[in-house]
Chains A and B, each alone.
Chain A
Amino acid sequence: DVKVTQSSRYLVKRTGEKVFLECVQDMDHENMFWYRQDPGLGLRLIYFSYDVKMKEKGDIPEGYSVSREKKERFSLILESASTNQTSMYLCASSPTTREQYFGPGTRLTVT
């Protein structure tokens, strides 16, 4: 069974804080993704990575950065958290057959 884990289920941070969200997958997938999901807006891609140290911007990269130093780990960084970054953050990994396996999600609240 594919397992994707995320570092926190719930997180509360203050405006201006630097926030790290971590994701780990155990299936040796090349591709990893970070999404945010908001009511009425669906899944929106923030960043993805197709290999170690490789990253590509998704649809809404502003205010975010990512790091992939090891194949199994993909981190999302909010450089200076703002209230409009309050959301559900979902990590996914994907093999070459393109289906996606999601982690449980992190519900981030920025106050």
Chain B
Amino acid sequence: QKEVEQNSGPLSVPEGAIASLNCTYSDRGSQSFFWYRQYSGKSPELIMSIYSNGDKEDGRFTAQLNKASQYVSLLIRDSQPSDSATYLCAAPSGGSYIPTFGRGTSLIVHP
């Protein structure tokens, strides 16, 4: 059973802090990894993709991938209350178009 694990949270951080969201995956064949943001009552929205080891930065977001340790993380710098949402990690199995989603981490950014 291929799994993607996330801490359900909630993770609570003050405004302006760095929020760190983590995800581990079981399938070593996974080659691509995605982070989605989902506001309450809305559908998931793609915010980051990462395919190779290391860091990938996009604005206030940084995705980090460590294939040897099988974890992916998302850092949100200068967190804002508008970042409060559930963040889903997804990893398609190697060779497959079907992603395995984690259950998401709830992030609360308080003023």
What is A's interface to B at a CB cutoff of 8 Å? Answer: 31, 33, 40-43, 45, 48, 50, 58, 90, 94, 96-105
B69 is an interface residue with CB less than 8 A from chain A = no
Q: Could you give, for residues 67-111 of chain B, a 1 whenever the CB lies within 8 Å of some chain A CB and a 0 otherwise?
A: 000000000000000000000101010000111011110000000
What is B's interface to A at a CB cutoff of 8 Å? Answer: 32, 34, 36, 42-46, 49, 88, 90, 92, 97-99, 101-104
Q: Smallest distance from the beta carbon of B8 to chain A beta carbons, Å?
A: 9
Chain A: which residue is nearest B97 at the CB level? A31
Report whether A98 and B97 are in contact in the complex, using a CB–CB cutoff of 8 Å: yes
Further pairs besides A50-B97, A100-B46: 12, Cβ < 8 Å: A40-B103, A41-B103, A42-B102, A42-B103, A48-B97, A58-B98, A90-B43, A98-B32, A98-B97, A99-B34, A101-B46, A102-B44
> Number of contacts between A and B (CB, 8 Å)?
48
Q: Smallest distance from the beta carbon of B40 to chain A beta carbons, Å?
A: 11
Residue pairs across A and B with Cβ atoms less than 8 A apart, 27 shown, are A31-B97, A33-B98, A42-B104, A43-B44, A43-B88, A43-B101, A48-B97, A50-B97, A58-B98, A90-B43, A94-B97, A97-B49, A98-B34, A98-B97, A98-B99, A99-B32, A99-B46, A99-B49, A100-B44, A100-B46, A101-B46, A102-B44, A102-B45, A103-B43, A104-B42, A105-B42, A105-B43
